[in-house]
Amino acid sequence: MRINKYIAQSGFCSRRKADEYILEKRVKVNGKIVDMLGFEVRVKDKVTIDDKLIRAEKLEYYKFYKPTGYITTKSDEKGRKTIYDLIPDELKHLNPVGRLDKDSSGLIILTNDGNLAFELTHPSIKAAKTYIVKVKGKLKKSELQQLNDGIEIEKDKIAYCDWAILEENKEETTFEIVLYQGLNRQIRKMFEFLGYNVVSLKRIRHANIELTGLKKGQIKPIKPRQIKELKKYLEKLRQN
């Protein structure tokens, strides 16, 4: 197995990050510094990064329905509730792919596959994330166009999205929003810029993985067939 794949399979980091560590001469195999990116690792080899032992693990993939009121982190200095308060002990070694803020709910993929997590969140790959978003009020046509064209939510950070209106009245509008970026609180900041408050925000899909079949706080393994389809989807995006 190529050493960058071995490191990614350990959950330590992505393949690209592993390549960086190799170039920085921080990776050793059997005590010797690795000096080539395509180095092949055998089953009995001892791999370390900064002298920390790395072991390839069985790759695991789960989907989790995050309720509102929880933050997406393993621990919190302020004592706030985290998603790991709801996740079984035997799965707490898994890492979330991306985040949802405390007031948002919906799908979070959990895995120890560092390479897959990297590709699902890297801005150059643009894996789609789909949300159901309810806002107070009814947007004007010019404001809807701004969502497509882009809004500067922070200095030099332009946020954009695809959208479709699902329901609309004078008091509220419900959208399906698709993001290809991963900016912090992106949807909320876009609507706040336009003068609208987000009432609720739920992620229902990340790439081809859907929230369907989960109850709030529930976690389930993702089927191997879906992971195979996901990797094909990401490969196509890389080629574009």
Tens of pLDDT along 49-73? 999 998 877 889 999 999 999 999 9
Rounded alpha-carbon distances, angstroms, from residue 47 to 26, 30, 117: 11, 6, 22
Rounded alpha-carbon distances, angstroms, from residue 53 to 12, 152, 175: 10, 43, 47
**Catalytic residue check, 101:** yes
Q: Which two tokens stand for residue 48?
A: 């370390």
Distance CA 13, CA 18 (A): 6
Options 35, 89, 101, 113, the catalytic residue: 101
Q: What is the three-class DSSP state of 60?
A: coil
- Asked whether 87 and 110 are in contact (CB, 8 A), the reply is yes
Going 187 to 188 to 192 to 195, the CA torsion angle's sign is positive
For the chain, give percent helix, strand, coil, nearest 5: 25, 30, 40
Domains 61-123+208-239 and 129-206 share a fold: yes
Q: For the domain bounded by 3-54, which CATH number is listed?
A: 3.10.290.10
Rounded alpha-carbon distances, angstroms, from residue 120 to 68, 92, 97, 113: 23, 20, 7, 11
Distance CA 207, CA 179 (A): 10
Distance CA 87, CA 59 (A): 18
DSSP states along 193-229: HHT--EEEEEEEEETTEE-TT--TT-EEEPPHHHHHH
CATH topology assigned to domain 129-206? Alpha-Beta Plaits (3.30.70)
Residue 76's pLDDT is what? 85
Under-70 pLDDT residues of the chain: none
- pTM (2 d.p.): 0.81
Domain ranges of the chain: 3-54, 61-123+208-239, 129-206
Residue 9's pLDDT is what? 79
**String of b and e for 156-175 (b: at least 16 CB within 10 Å)?**
eeebbbebeeeeeeeeebbb
Task: Spell out the CATH class of 61-123+208-239.
Answer: alpha beta
Residue 174's pLDDT is what? 98
Q: What is the three-class DSSP state of 234?
A: helix
